[in-house]
Amino acid sequence: MDVDTRLLRYFAAVAEEGSLTAAAQRLFVSQPALTKQIRRLEDDLGVRLFARSRSGMALTEAGQELAARAPALLDGWDEAVRATGRAARVLRLGFLDAGAVGAVPEVIAEFRRAWPEWRVELRQFDWSDPSAGLTRGEVDAAVVRLPFPGQDGLRVRELFVEERGVLLPAGHPLADRETVEFRELWDEPFVAAGAGTGAWREHWLATEERDGHPVRIGAVTHRPDEWLGAVAAGCVALAPASAARFHARPDVVFRAVRGVSPSRVGLARPRGRTREAALDALLEAVARRLSRS
């Protein structure tokens, strides 16, 4: 019987967390979608893996057997993927937004000259996965914005800090200001990432900097074009200062904000993986360049 490794990864997360809600946040998927995938795995195997209750997800005897073996199976598969990449001389670097990666393309060009036998793939991910592909094993390392769910399980090196401002519709009453007080925005409809992104969503809504004032969600988006479109249609959104350069459009303006903490950009990679000289060299070059920014 063939089992999709993604289903096994979903099962392992639920088994470890003991909760569909916590596992969904960790995997950056919706709870209904995760429930559907767990049921699919149970149907494929012909057994019940969990006993569901209000207190959480308890493993059945069959589930315990699979949970004991799943980590080794997944580790073996991940190592096979990494070994394949090393044999093909491919390094995969994930990112979310152009403002965070900055001069990384120039670093990659320099790396290719020094390591001509290696190919580097720069992969952009949408905001449904703030780990930029790391937690799903799709990249070897990633330039990320902190904080995000699951970062404690990764090796993260903070590189630089970037101030946050606000994107406003061009016709907004505050659009003529050079600087806006965050307090003045509390009752505005904010653009938010999906609920499954946890700490990432909360950071970009600045929920801890509202003195308990509730957040008003005006739109939920996953990509820059949707994000900017929602702002142009009347919402507001906190954004890194680089958004003024990389996401300029006539119907949206960027303004500085007082009263919110900055965005922190880091370089993340999995823990405990076999060290690869080419990857180490690439990441060190990326870290040096971005730290200078």
Tens digit of each residue's pLDDT (9 = 90 or more) over 4-26: 788 888 888 888 888 888 888 77
Query: For strand 119-124 and strand 179-181, is the pairing parallel, antiparallel, or unpaired?
Result: unpaired
3-state per-residue secondary structure call for 234-267: CCEEEEECCHHHHCCECCEEEEEEECCCCEEEEE
pLDDT of 30 higher than 90 = no
Whether residue 273 is predicted with pLDDT greater than 70 in this model: the reply is no
The tokens 């949970």 sit on which residue? Answer: 67
Residue 82 structure tokens: 């990494």
pLDDT cut 90: percent of the chain above it: 51
- Between 31-45 and 5-17, two packed helices, what is the crossing angle to 10 degrees? 110
Q: Contact 133/274 with Cβ under 8 angstroms? A: no
CA distance 281 to 293: 19
Burial of 236 (0-12, 13-18, 19+ CB in 10 A): buried
The residue written with tokens 């795995």 in the block is 41
Residue 252 CA to residue 240 CA, distance in Å, equals 14
* Geometric angle at alpha carbon 129, from 241 and 222, rounded to 5°: 65
pLDDT at site 87: 63
Q: From CA 178, how far away is CA 190, in angstroms rounded?
A: 20
pLDDT tens readout for residues 201-241? 999 999 999 999 999 999 999 888 999 999 999 999 999 99
250, 170 Cβ separation under 8 angstroms: yes
pLDDT value of position 88: 62
CB 13 within 8 A of CB 26: yes
The pLDDT value recorded for residue 274 is 60
Sign, CA dihedral 109-111-113-117, equals negative
Q: Tell me the pLDDT of the chain averaged across its residues.
A: 89
* Helix (H/G/I), strand (E/B), else coil: 92: strand
Q: How confident is the model at residue 151 (pLDDT cuts 50, 70, 90)?
A: confident
Query: Has residue 92 got a pLDDT over 80?
Result: yes
List the domains of the chain with CATH numbers: 5-84 (1.10.10.10), 89-161+264-292 (3.40.190.10), 164-261 (3.40.190.290)
Give the mean model confidence (pLDDT) for residues 282-291. Answer: 92
Phi and psi for 38 in degrees, rounded to 5? Answer: -65, -40
Going by pLDDT thresholds of 50, 70 and 90, the confidence category of residue 143 is: very high
| Per-residue pLDDT tens digits for 95-133 | 998 888 888 999 999 999 999 999 999 999 988 889 999
Q: Give φ, ψ of 201 to 5 degrees.
A: -60, -45
Query: What pLDDT, on the 0 to 100 scale, is given for residue 144?
Result: 95
| pLDDT at res. 2 | 65
